[in-house]
Amino acid sequence: MPEAEFHAHPLSRLFPYAPFNVREAADRVAAIEGHRRDLASRLGRDVGLPVAALDYLQNITGELLAPRIVEDKVLDALEHRSITDPLTGLFNRYHFDATLTREVARCLRYGTRLSLLLMDVDQMKAVNDGWGHQVGDRLLSRVAGAMRQSLRSSDVVSRYGGDEFAIILPDADGQAGRLVAERICSEVKAAGPVEAGGPEPGVMAQSTVSGGVAELPPAATMASGDLLIVAADQALYLAKRRGGNCVAGGAADSR
């Protein structure tokens, strides 16, 4: 199979839930290409890679038992929805968990740096109780926007749950993670209050965020994402105890 065609129609893209791993995929691609040529010689026309792959995996090997045909645009929408938080547009907890597991493994394998930043909105309950959840939702969306503006393309920001956010910072130590967190705190505060409306027009709901930073030790030989989450959560708790609108953990809190 020509390389350009392989990248245009990778097997994992055609059948994302097929029961074979990436290593096995290369063998399947070669077999499917042979099956495609065989079908073309029998039918007198090229059936294309998707049809050849479907016939091979369902009727020849039996690896697909009940496949469904889905348009690319529909599949893209479903995949996007499965990993995205609908309110903020950030990644969801499911995507965060999978990404953190992968990044921890990469860090241990190659000896790279990895930091985790947990942040939550200060006094979020008071905003929801005082002005309603619609105002709270607008506030969360504004915080999410401030986070996007403060991060690199390689960073992964997710809505961790409720008013809490989790940011995976590949190739970043604790000091760099702290700088990122402080930048987000400044961005959120600079964005200004959200107009509450309701019975008291003109009243504003002002909020800030707090952050906790944890770094995977450079010399670590064994680690899990859970340990990193616990460390970042403890640092976040410390920031909240200090009154909020601040960051704990990272190099400045290594003592």
Catalytic residues: 163
- Phi first, then psi: what are they for 46, rounded to 5°? -80, 125
